[in-house]
Amino acid sequence: MRWPQGAPPRQRKEQQPRYKVVSNAGGDVEAVEEEENQDVSKKGRRQGKKRVSAPDGVLQPVKLSRADLYKPPTNEELSQLKETENLFHSSLLRLQIEELLKEVRLKEKKKQRIDAFLHEINTLLSTVPETAEADITDQTWLPKHVRVPLLQVPFGVKGKFHFLPPAAVKVVGSYLLGTCIKPEINVDVAVTMPREIFQDKDHLNQRYYRKRALYLAHIAQHLAKKQLFGSIKFAYANSNHLKPVLLLRPQGKDEKLVTVRLYACPASGFFKPSRFHPSKNNVRLAWFLEQAAPGEGATEPPTPHYNNSFLCDTVLESHLHFLSGAAADFPGMRDGVALLKVWLHQRELDKGLGGFSGFVASMLVAYLLTKHKISRMMSGYQVLRNALQFLATTDLSIEGISLSKDTDGSLPTLTDFQQAFEVVFVDPSGLVNLCADMTASTYKQVQFEAKHSMDVLDDKTVDGFQLLLLTTKPLLRTFDHVFYLKPVSKLQGACKKMQLLNELMDRGGNYVATSLPFITSLLARGLDERALLLTHSLPQTQEWPIDADPPKHKDIGHLSFGLLLAPEFAASVLERGPEADRPEAADFRRFWGEKSELRRFQDGAICEAVVWQADTLAQKRLIPERIVRHLLQLHAGIPESSICYTGAVLESVIKTRREPAGTGEEAMAGVIRSYDDLSRKLWKLEGLPLTVTAVQGTHPALRYTDVFPPAPMKPDYSYHERSKEKESLLPLADKPCPAYIPPMKVICHMEGSGQWPQDKEAIKRIKAAFHLQLAELLSQQHHFLCRPAASHTDVYKDGYVFRLQVAYHREPQILKEVVTPEGMLKYRDTEESQQLELETLHLPYLTSCLHGLQQQHPAFSGTCRLAKRWISAQMLSDGLAEECVDLLVAFLFLHPAPFTSPSCPQVGFLRFLHLLTTFDWKNAPLIVNLNSELKDADYTEIKNEFVASRTDLPIMFISTPRDQRCSVWTKERPSAQILQRLLVLAQASLRALEEQLLNPLGSQDVKVAFRPPLDFYDVLIHLNPKQIPRHLEGVDRPVKSFSRGMLKSDAPVKTLSFPVVDYDPVQCYLQELRENVWFPYASYCRSIYLHLMGSWQAWPLLSYLNRQLASSGCGLLRSKDIFWGGPWKDVFLFCIKHPLLSGAGCRCEEILSCSCVCKTITIFTATPYAIPYLLPYHMPFTIIPYVPQNWGVYFK
């Protein structure tokens, strides 16, 4: 929140408008605001005269008398102080909530305009003309430009209809209660249909619903002629296709101000409530099936949803009176309901069929008040907490609740409601279930979210306000696996296969609403412990013009389902059933079908079981998908082609091309097994003068975050030549570049001893001796192929290369020693000491922590590798430390609120992109609490020091328990420009991915987010694919591949010479370009598989050239004077056009003798003698005059 002049606003109590219901002679009812006159004392007026108005924008101090300054606090102030101390983690949370309420509430001026609009609607409704009586099926009296807003299937129905003006028009709902919130302001108006238009049996076979729809259609026809409205449309109330409403919006600039929803309802007392008991039938089966007569002895099934929907229209006014009584003298209720509505909206739970609407939330708060779980003295925040606590601990799908106090025996009991509905919340009348359309899975989601939200509110280390009330939780980023059912018309056949005819009739033919509870129950049983939560999207239908046919059931688009997986069970390949001789075994076989088989287990039991074949972890992660597809096909007849499962679509970009074809987890497990064995051998190594005290790996593969982990390989001697001096292999010039073998660094900490020298140069020599001795002992005792060097020893083991580096714990301290001219010894950080600390202290600690994090969260590895893959694909990996990315992803798992920790890499990657784009990098530190070492006090200290020293800290600040103040991984990079570029790309990538993943009917090419926008770069240099060792790691698999001179590790070939290690010609070429050509002016450059990108941006070159030209009196260059062309026939073209520099050019071939990698670059620029003058470096090129005849061919 931002306030003027950096100060918080003064707290003022808004005057809530109070309304009274006024009935006129014609039966019309309108809302009238009561004005309260307040007397102003003479003393107050005298003081007001003495005040001097302050200049605009200047805050003046308030002068208080001594009595006012020291007077005791009032009861209200004491209550607020006590509440802040007991409930709020800080006073800021109270201010945030108050500001949010001001933001979402309707302003008084807008209320006045809405009231005026309501008065005009009331006047127009009283002038709607009557119509002649006709059969319900005779709808010829309606004009062609108005359609009946109801699916009339079957069409034939008995009864008569004629229109009469409304008996009453009443404003109902949240508008009068003061609990409606922006951005969508809806005002509900109940239009009472006169008793004269109804007949005795109108409660049967949708007759009432047909008359209701005709009534609204005639009103729409009349209002459409008026100039008052900007739009008149129909919609389904809460997406219930039996309950259309008429939407009225004002004209002109006020069209988005408000939407008035007209509800047609019956006159009170005409229909007997006893007819609508949940066990009663009001839809005849013969009529629904369009049969001539019911079969003999046929019993009519109950229609509880039909009956409940009917009764809802009869209690609109009584619900308003009930809530008004509850909200009287209870301002905290209005605030609490508003906060609860915001909370539900952020979780996409408040809209659609069966949603937890704002009305249900208001009734829930009223229920808590009647049960004395909250009091009228509570604030809105206390109401929110108590409501969430109740939802978290009460399962309405098991034990229902009721607002009714009536003991009338004719009313249905809670048991009656529980037998008819999945979720039960009975209204004050005792007749209506407020959650009749809600499925058990939807309420489970509400309950899960409430429980999780209470944990967030109790956590003092996070900003609960931001996470709960300002952070959206869309389906794709909330659930681990998401799948879609398309088209939903397949559910029509599912109803038939599951024998849901009675339920389909009860729902009026809505096969989506009919089958949804059964499908969720089916999948919940099949997934069992694998899924913590299974939920579905709430079916929603869009509003439609009055001249269009109402939308059909299939027009909801696709149906979405979300799975929140339990990491410890989700990848299990076994589903163990009951023993074969038990009665439950037959039910198990029926449920799983042909997948069930008898198996003998290690404990000797013979049980029914289902085994899912999976070789890799990537395949195991998709076992829930196989379960979903199998059960829906078996029990609901939904083919696999109608299920679009997006649980692991993004994982294709990190799949390896090796066997087994997984996503690299198996390869990293092989690396770590080899590393663990090497560590044990180093610990037990004999003959060293000092023992090894610790062995710590620092390579990304040893913390499961290497995008493409090393593969064990043996060199093919036909692709190499042997260096006799070093007993190593060298690549042949006429062969493709050998496969890339990365050295995996391992730090060996030696024990402390008084024999260690205290001179830094002497320590380096001792370490070099240790490296030589390590190589000798490993070769002698374990027969490893070793290659020692002064700074390290390379060990070839199991097809991998480990780079051992000896560390002495006091060396960083010795490197900090500085002797002053006075002879005093001081300690100062130097570049060398900081680098050594980074390699021997910080990096091993980080690797150890992330290795442990992977054991807790198996999805960490895949998420981190997807994030690195994306950053590298965007040419930004040189601008961001690899360890920084590891910490960003670790934050998602250690501090996932308001979500849960990801259980699959895809959702983790989407949250990674969202974190980049939404985190306030300028004003907040990212605190990653590795191993839970930080306490609450540490959080406060880190934040305070960050604020105090912000200008001296990196642009991206990441704090960890061992690095609370420096952010060592972001100290050098990223720069502000790189970070801004990163955020822009993350936002665009997230938007592109979500659009594709949310559109199951479209062609999904998620790799588009991993293809960089080439138009941002100025130079494109094509590389020879033979010289790119990681050619097959491209986002798009290349058409042609090359043999890289490597054999599998199990090949029967003995390795006698050390293979080529850490050889990547692309990186070597990049380094040469940076050191010798124009790339020092580049903000960044990066190689990626087939292309090497450089940023010859116009502005740095323009700046340099203009400084040179200004000194000679020449006119300055403009951006349009520089043309960037190419690539054209593998030639890059660069031109500077200037009046004094034209006509001649140069052609430069074989830049830096890199002809094996780079193609020709042609530069059209100044005359040859001007090149050294214009460029900052002398270009080592042979200059040949070259003038193109047709410039248009080159510059398109």
Name the residue among 117, 254, 230, 192 with its Cα closest to residue 545. 230
| Closest CA relative to residue 185, chosen from 123, 245, 227, 248 | 248
- In this model, does residue 1048 exceed pLDDT 70? no
Res 291 pLDDT > 70: yes
> Does the structure show a pLDDT above 50 at 1127?
no
What's the CA gap between 128 and 89, in Å, rounded? 57
Band of pLDDT at residue 1015, cut at 50, 70 and 90: confident
What one-character DSSP code corresponds to residue 697?
E
Q: So what's the pLDDT on residue 714?
A: 84
Where does residue 868 rank: exposed (0-12), middle (13-18), buried (19+ CB within 10 A)? buried
Report which residue type is found at 413. T
pLDDT band per the 50, 70, 90 thresholds, residue 1184? very low
Here the tokens at position 1187 are 């003038």
Residues in the chain, overall count: 1196
Tell me the C-alpha distance between 436 and 406, whole Å.
Answer: 20
DSSP string, 189-236: EEEEEPGGG--TTTTSTTHHHHHHHHHHHHHHHHHTT-TTEEEEEEEE
What whole-number distance in Å separates Cα of residue 1158 and Cα of residue 1164?
A: 19
Residue 1094 reports pLDDT greater than 60: no
The pLDDT score that the predictor gives to residue 1053 is 66
Per residue in 230-239, pLDDT tens?
Answer: 999 999 999 9
For the ranges 477-486, 562-571, 993-1002, which has the lowest average pLDDT? 993-1002
Q: At residue 725, does pLDDT exceed 80?
A: no
Residue 1147 has pLDDT above 80, yes or no: no
Indicate whether 89 pLDDT > 60: no
What confidence tens digit (pLDDT) does each residue in 412-423 have?
999 999 999 999
Task: Report the amino acid identity of residue 1173.
Answer: Y
pLDDT at residue 908, as a whole number: 97
Mark 307-344 as b/e (b = at least 16 C-beta within 10 Å). Answer: bbbbbbbbbbbebbebbeebbeebbbbbbbbbbbbbbb
Instruction: Give me 629's structure tokens.
Output: 């597809």
Least confident of 852-856, 876-880, 933-937, 1044-1048: 1044-1048
At residue 659 the predicted structure's pLDDT band, cuts being 50, 70 and 90, is low
Spatial CB neighbours of 324, under 8 Å, sequence gap ≥ 6: 176, 177
Give pLDDT tens digits for 210-243. Answer: 999 999 999 999 999 999 999 999 999 999 999 9
Return the pLDDT at 47. Answer: 43
Average pLDDT of the segment spanning 193-215: 95
Burial class (CB in 10 A: 0-12, 13-18, 19+), 949: exposed
Strands in 113-212 per DSSP E: 134-135, 160-161, 168-172, 186-193
pLDDT band for 469, please (50, 70, 90 cuts): very high
pLDDT digits (tens, 9 = 90+) for 419-438: 999 999 999 999 999 999 99
- How large is the average pLDDT for residues 1084-1103? 35
**What pLDDT, on a 0 to 100 scale, did the predictor assign at position 901?**
97
Inform me whether the pLDDT recorded for 804 exceeds 60.
yes
Does residue 716 surpass a pLDDT of 70? yes
Query: Between residues 1077 and 886, which one has the greater pLDDT?
Result: 886
**Helix, strand or coil, per DSSP, at residue 921:** coil
pLDDT bin (cut points 50, 70, 90) of residue 1093 is very low
| Stretch 486-495: mean pLDDT | 93
Who wins on pLDDT, 328 or 1180?
328
Region 907-925: mean pLDDT is 97
Mean pLDDT of 237-266: 94
Going by C-beta distance under 8 Å and a sequence separation of 6 or more, which residues neighbour residue 1097? 1018, 1081, 1082, 1083
Instruction: Kindly list the structural domains of the chain, giving each domain's residue range(s) and its CATH number in brackets, ordered by start.
Output: 17-33+77-271 (3.30.460), 302-456 (1.10.1410.10), 475-573+612-646 (3.30.70.3020), 665-1006 (no CATH), 1097-1194 (no CATH)
E strand or H helix that includes residue 696: strand 692-697
Chain CA centroid to CA 989, Å: 13
pLDDT in tens, 336-391: 999 999 999 999 999 999 999 999 999 999 999 999 999 999 999 999 999 999 99
| CB-based contacts of 893, cutoff 8 Å, min separation 6 | 853, 856, 857, 859, 860, 863, 901, 902, 908
Tokens of 160: 């008569």
Per-residue pLDDT band for 1158 (boundaries 50, 70, 90) equals very low
Contact 491, 502 (CB under 8 A): no
| Contact indicator for 334, 376 with CB cutoff of 8 Å | no
pLDDT of the residue at 78:
67
Higher pLDDT, 1180 or 628: 628
Distance CA 631, CA 519 (A): 9
Q: How confident is the model at residue 406 (pLDDT cuts 50, 70, 90)?
A: confident
Contact 166, 160 (CB under 8 A): no
Q: How confident is the model over 883-889, as a mean pLDDT?
A: 98
Site of tokens 């060398």: 832
Arithmetic mean of pLDDT over the chain: 83
> pLDDT over 90 for what percent of the chain?
65
d(CA 531, CA 535): 10
CA distance 1177 to 1179: 6
User: Stretch 842-869: mean pLDDT, rounded?
Assistant: 96
pLDDT for res 337: 97
pLDDT score for 635? 97
Q: Which of 702, 737, 640 is nearest to 1030 (CA)?
A: 737
The pLDDT of residue 661 is 73
Phi, psi of 251 (to 5 degrees): -90, 155
Q: How confident is the model at residue 717 (pLDDT cuts 50, 70, 90)?
A: confident
The residue to which tokens 């992330």 are assigned: 850
| Residue 425 host element (H or E) | strand 425-426
Q: How much of the chain exceeds pLDDT 70, in percent?
A: 81
383-403 mean pLDDT: 96
pLDDT surpasses 60 at 600: yes
Whole-number pLDDT of residue 296: 65
User: What are 14-59's pLDDT values in tens digits?
Assistant: 333 333 333 343 334 344 334 333 443 444 444 444 444 444 444 4
The answer on pLDDT for 1087 being more than 50 is no
Rounded to an integer, what distance in angstroms lies between the CA atom of residue 84 and that of residue 598? 62
Confidence band of 919 (pLDDT split at 50, 70, 90): very high
* Strand, coil or helix: 23: strand
Q: What was the pLDDT predicted at 1074?
A: 67
- The better pLDDT of the pair 34, 778 is held by 778
CA distance 536 to 354: 11
DSSP string of 222-275, one letter each residue:
HHTT-TTEEEEEEEEGGG-TT-EEEEEEESGGGTTT-EEEEEEEEPTTSS-GGG
CB 316 within 8 A of CB 172: yes
For residue 48, the model assigns a pLDDT of 43
Range with the lowest mean pLDDT among 79-88, 355-364, 709-718? 79-88
Cα gap 1030→1028, rounded to integer Å:
6
Q: What's residue 820's pLDDT?
A: 82
The answer on pLDDT for 319 being more than 90 is yes
Q: String of b and e for 1094-1105 (b: at least 16 CB within 10 Å)?
A: bbbebeebbeeb
DSSP single-letter state for residue 1045: S
pLDDT at 737: 86
The pLDDT of residue 84 is 57
Q: What's the pLDDT score for residue 60?
A: 53
Instruction: Indicate whether 275 pLDDT > 90.
Output: yes
Q: How many Å separate Cα 862 from the centre of its chain? A: 17
**Pairwise CA distance, residues 237 & 562, whole Å:** 25
Q: Which of 723, 830, 775, 749 is nearest to 1058 (CA)?
A: 723
